[in-house]
Amino acid sequence: MGILNVSSINMHFGGLQALNNVNLDVRQGTVHAIIGPNGAGKSTLLNCFVGRLTPDTGVVDFDGISLIGLKPHEINQAGVSRVFQTPEIFGDLSLLENVMIPAFAKRDGSYRQNLWAPLRGESKIRERAMAALADVKMADKAGMIANTLSRGDKRRLELAMGLVQEPKLLLLDEPTAGMARADTNATIALLKEISATGLTMVIIEHDMHVVFSLAERITVLAQGTVIAEDEPAKIKGHPKVQEAYLGGTHS
Amino acid sequence: MTVSSSSPRGDMLMMLGMIVAIVFGPIILAPFGAGYPDLMQKFAIYGIFAIGFNILFGLTGYLSFGHAAFLGVGSYSAVWMFKLLSMNVIPALILAILISGLFALVIGFITLRRSGIYFAILTLAFAQMSYNLAYSVLTPITNGETGLQLLLDDPRILDAPLASGDLPLANLFGLQMNSTYETSFLGMTLYFNAGYYLCGVILLVAFYFAMRIFRSPLGMMLKAIKSNQNRLNYTGVNTRPYTLTAFVISGIYAGLAGGLLACTDPLAGAERMQWTASGEVVLMTILGGAGTLLGPIIGAGAIKYFENIFSAFNESELNAVFSFLPDGLREAVVSVASTFVGEGWQLTLGVLFMLIVIFLPGGLLEGVRRILSLFNRPPGGGMEERSARVKSAA
């Protein structure tokens, strides 16, 4: 059994069956990609993992606890960090503050901030935040205001915000969407480095170049149903996948 | 101004500046015609009110339209303490803090379930409810329209019986709040008033406490709520206790300000809770610069000063000002200008507020910074600054 264990998830919006009996098993220390055409239910599935949506039926077990019914902050404290499709950052704060905030959240839980200890005395938190920024090669921009970054840099910042919490599972929602090729390649290299540390990652991605560069296992969704789950090499040749997603044209 | 860019030296200078400004307040303000006790007390009291409001609005972005309710609660609590226990201001202020804090805890617990415009409407509704209750159901506590006043036969169990038939005065261990030392300096009369210095010292403490919050992890979390509450939830932070803490702290500041109003003038009326009073503190904070430390104090001072100047003007004074104009024209100008002064001074305030929000969205403090940066620009640094601005806009 893997670190994230999803079974028999059903979810519908009105008359639309968004997820239909979805099963997923993410193994510890792997990069697991979820792919599928637009509207396949990828983001809905991800939202079920982080507490944004509650599935109608089914089980989401993470590291021995059920995530169903937990609030987003509780799921994060259980060890799941998420990087959003559109960068969700603290736009008017500095990069350093952006990364210090999740570091505090991790250390102090939901509410144990010391009112009187001045921020500048928190050297350990600051060091950890700087190290996380260095991990995504942004240490030199620590003092900049986050909103002034390019879209690609905002993504990397969000990645640092996830990494500083040392999560057990990192969820990435289209980490390279809207990026230029050079940025995409830099992100792939970065994610490979992170993956080498043994962190488990679930990636939703449209770009097949990214998927096949990173994923050790791929789940294919179409119309809310899992149509295949296998190693990348086998997924490429899977007839159902070619029909539903790659349209038979992707080599 | 970001949390991380603050330096201990800068903070200490700011604190020293505040101490100097408060100690020499009567001398600094006298040339502007604002150096008399009543107005100086108001500067300090509304400064406290606005600093507290800024902890909620400036840091978390939650716009409360009902903070005057806490001001009113603070005033009532203080006057009750004067009536029942003692004319000493200490117990009065303690009760004002406790009751307003409790009141803020209850109201915050309910209203903070919503954010944005819904939160603003909920707080407004609560304040109006308090205002109407003070006039109706709660008349035994608030004394309705007359307002809560001191009476000769109040118990005041800690105080010695009154010697004469006069109403007692609020004091700090015998130092009466209205005792004033007057002196003449360069042809101006200076008033060193005990009530003003009490308010000033409390303003200093309130300012110091606010500064500590701004510079603490709590302050950073509150700023993060304003910036992106959604992200904070996905970062493992339950934001409710943070917003509630900010709400209660700002409610306590308002209650303290209300208590001080009662200390300098021992009566409390429900009009202090009216929505216009709640709106006023919003104006003060935005006018001075929301989210900055000094802005709210500057805003409070500016509004109270202009209220005082413009509401004192009358038609004959206007006629004197415009006496250089030919008769017909003068009458026309005076009739237009008179709508902006006296009772209509709020019209002036409205125009001023609009100009500030449109041209100086960062408030008066941003104006000061812009002026300072004109002088501090390094030689040949114009291009760099412009390119930095272009970069930050991109």
Residue B308 lies in a domain: no
Q: Which chain B residues in 200-219 lie under 8 Å from chain A, judged by CB atoms?
A: 212-213, 215-219
Residue A199 and residue A95 share a domain: no
Taking Cα atoms as reference points, which of A142, A91, A106 lies closest to residue B229? A91
The backbone torsions φ and ψ at residue B387, rounded to the nearest 5 degrees and listed phi first, read -70, -30
Nearest C-alpha in A relative to B221: A101
Interface test with B, best of A53, A119, A173 (most B CBs within 10 A): A119
Q: Establish if A86 belongs to a structural domain.
A: no
- Of the residues B7, B231, B389, the best mutation for testing chain A's interface (the one with the most A CB atoms within 10 Å of its CB) is B231
CATH of the domain at A196: 3.40.50.300
Does A245 reside within a domain? yes
**Chain B residues with beta carbon closer than 8 angstroms to that of A77:** 236
Q: What is the pLDDT of residue B332?
A: 87
- Domain region containing A98: 91-166
CB contact under 8 A, B232 and A91: no
- Cα distance between residue A44 and residue A19, in whole Å: 8
CA distance B57 to B363: 14
Which residues on A lie below 8 Å from B241 (Cβ)?
110-111
* Cα torsion A125, B61, B215, B243: sign: negative
Q: Which of B3, B4, B211, B387 has the highest number of chain A CBs within 10 A, making it the mutation to test binding with A? A: B4
Q: What's the pLDDT score for residue B324?
A: 85
A172 and A244, same domain (yes or no) = yes
Residue A111: the pLDDT is 66
How far away is chain B from the Cα of A45, in angstroms, using its nearest Cα? 16
Q: Is residue B190 within 8 Å of residue B26, measured between CB atoms?
A: yes
Give A-chain residues touching B226 at CB under 8 angstroms.
92
Residue of A97, A108, A113 with shortest CB distance to B3: A97
Look at chain A and report how many structural domains it folds into.
Answer: 2
- What 3-state DSSP class applies to B84? helix
Q: Is B221 on the interface with A (CB under 8 A)?
A: yes
Convert the pLDDT of each residue in A146-173 to its tens digit: 999 988 889 889 999 999 999 999 999 9
Q: Tell me whether residues A115 and B232 touch, CB distance under 8 A.
A: no
CB nearest to A148's CB, from B3, B215, B391: B391
Measured between its terminal Cα atoms, the distance across chain A in Å is: 33
* Residue B160: strand, helix, or coil: coil
H helical segments located in chain A: 42-50, 72-77, 95-108, 123-135, 151-163, 181-196, 208-214, 232-237, 239-241
d(CA A79, CA A59): 18
Domain count, chain B: 1
- Pairwise CB contact (< 8 Å): A118 & B242: no
C-alpha–C-alpha distance, residues B303 and B349, integer Å: 8
What number is the ipTM of this complex? 0.88
Same domain for A172 and A75, yes or no, is yes
CA distance to partner chain A, nearest, from residue B113 (Å): 15
**B392 contacts chain A (CB < 8 A):** yes
Q: Do A116 and A67 fall into the same domain?
A: no
State how far residue A117 is from chain B, nearest Cα, in angstroms.
6
Tally of CB atoms within 10 A around B205: 12
The tokens for B197 are 């210095």
Which residue is closest to A113 within chain B, CA to CA?
B218
B9 Cβ under 8 Å from any chain A Cβ: no
A53 & A25 share domain: yes
Whether residues A114 and A11 fall in one domain: no
Verify whether the Cβ–Cβ distance B4 to A94 is below 8 Å: yes
Last residue of one domain, picked from the residues A132, A166, A200 = A166
Distances (CA, A) of A13 to A53, A54, A67, A122, B241: 11, 12, 20, 46, 32
Parts of chain B with a pLDDT under 70: 1-6, 163, 377-394
A with B: how many residue pairs have Cβ under 8 Å apart?
120
Q: State how far residue B246 is from chain A, nearest Cα, in angstroms.
A: 11
Q: Which domain holds residue B137?
A: 21-273
Q: What is the pLDDT of residue A246?
A: 56
> Among the three residues A166, A186, A213, which one is the final residue of a domain in this structure?
A166
Residue A195 included in any domain: yes
- Looking at the structure, tell me whether residues A209 and A103 fall in a common domain: no
The pLDDT value given to residue B296: 96
Q: Per-residue confidence of chain A (251 residues) as pLDDT tens digits? A: 689 999 999 998 988 889 999 999 999 999 999 998 888 888 899 999 888 889 999 999 999 899 998 999 999 999 999 988 888 999 999 999 999 999 988 887 666 666 667 887 788 889 999 999 998 889 999 999 999 998 888 988 999 999 999 999 999 998 888 788 888 898 899 999 999 999 999 999 888 889 999 999 999 998 889 988 888 888 888 888 777 765 544 44
Q: Is the residue at A237 inside a domain?
A: yes
CB-CB contact of B234 with B303 (8 Å)? no
Query: Is B1's Cβ below 8 Å from some Cβ in A?
Result: no
**Nearest chain A residue (CA) to B391:** A148
Q: How far is A149 from chain B (nearest CA, A)?
A: 8
Which of A166, A183, A210 is at the close of a domain?
A166
Do A162 and A174 lie in one domain? The reply is: no
- Within a domain: residue A84? no
Strand pairing class (A65-66; A57-62): antiparallel
